[in-house]
Amino acid sequence: MKLRFVSLLVGAFVFLFPFYYMLIGSLQAEPDPSVSGAIPAGNLTLHNYSEINSAINLGRSLVNSGIFTGGVILGTLVFGVLAGYALARLQFRGRGVVFNLMLLFQVVPFQLLTIPLYVLIVRSYGLADSYLGMILPFAINSTAVLVFRQYFLQLPVELFDAARIDGASELNILWRIAVPLVRPALLTGVLLTFIGPWNEFLWPFLITKQQDLQPLAVSLSNYLTTVSARAANPFGAVLAGACVLAAPAVALFLIFQRRFISSSLESGVKG
């Protein structure tokens, strides 16, 4: 038991040390990439954060990231739950074909669709320099649809039959019975969806060149290629931006990690 505890402790240290070093590096007044630089010794300051904030406006970039990511999460949950429920519990012609096509789309890299999507969004729909133009290509996530479908398939069919006998509509069944029982899937969908758009920089950069609309990942990418070399401490400024970008993802995980528990899917069935 003691050996297992020590092994887990060492593994946790190895995993967490890069994050710790990133935080310490973002606070260093003078860059110190050596191992000894990981120990604070009076070389700490918030100047790196103020310097990168003056270059890219961290607050505005965070708001843009929140709008972009929040819109994608909302679309993923709404369309994913509806599509997953339909593929799991509704009987209609072509359901198997639709499901197989959805699995096929998962093997197509997003990079192959970038140019056609750009032409469609910017030229056909005229959504350049807008949040909607950034959100639409990510609003439906086939992986989330698959996750919701598999969760809905695990629910006892007796729950749905009893609700239909009582005269409930499919939307009422979905909202009042199915969704409350698949909350772990909803949390999984939120976290899986959050990571992608929050770190996405290619597509928002193509949609808009206006800095007041660009998410934080795009602003940091521009900073790395154009401004960082002129900073007093480029190493610390880059790490400060990375800390700001990582902080919401870490906070979201810490908030939700206790809620990743299995639901009692059989609790609504008697006998």
Quick check: 234 and 124 in contact, CB under 8 A?
Answer: no
On whether the pTM is more than 0.85, the answer is no
Q: Tell me: the pLDDT tens digits for 232-247?
A: 777 788 888 888 888 8
**Per residue in 57-103, pLDDT tens?**
888 998 999 999 999 999 999 999 999 999 998 888 988 898 988 88
- Which tokens belong to 233? 């401490």
The reported pLDDT for the residue numbered 91 is: 87
- What does the alpha-carbon distance between residue 248 and residue 66 come to, in Å, rounded to a whole number? 10
Q: Is residue 237 part of a domain?
A: yes
Which residues of the chain carry a pLDDT beneath 50? 262-268, 270-271
**Domain span holding position 33:** 16-259
Residue 167, phi-psi category: left (phi > 0), alpha (psi -120 to 50), beta (remainder) = left
pLDDT for 256 equals 74
Question: What distances in angstroms separate CA 242 from CA 79, 245, 246, one per listed residue?
Answer: 31, 5, 6
Residue 172 lies in a domain: yes
Compute the distance between CA of residue 248 and CA of residue 178 in angstroms, rounded to an integer. Answer: 29
Q: Is 265 inside any structural domain?
A: no
Residue 98 in any domain: the answer is yes
- Report yes or no: 217 and 167 within 8 Å, Cβ to Cβ: no
Residue 150 belongs to some domain of the structure = yes
**Is position 269 within any domain?**
no
Residue 2 lies in a domain: no
In a domain, 63, yes or no: yes
The chain-wide mean pLDDT, for the chain, equals: 84
pLDDT for 265 = 46
What's the pLDDT at 66?
Answer: 92
Q: What pLDDT does residue 229 have?
A: 64
- The enclosing domain of 112 has a CATH number of 1.10.3720.10
Q: Count the domains in the chain.
A: 1
- Burial (CB < 10 A; 0-12, 13-18, 19+), residue 139, is middle
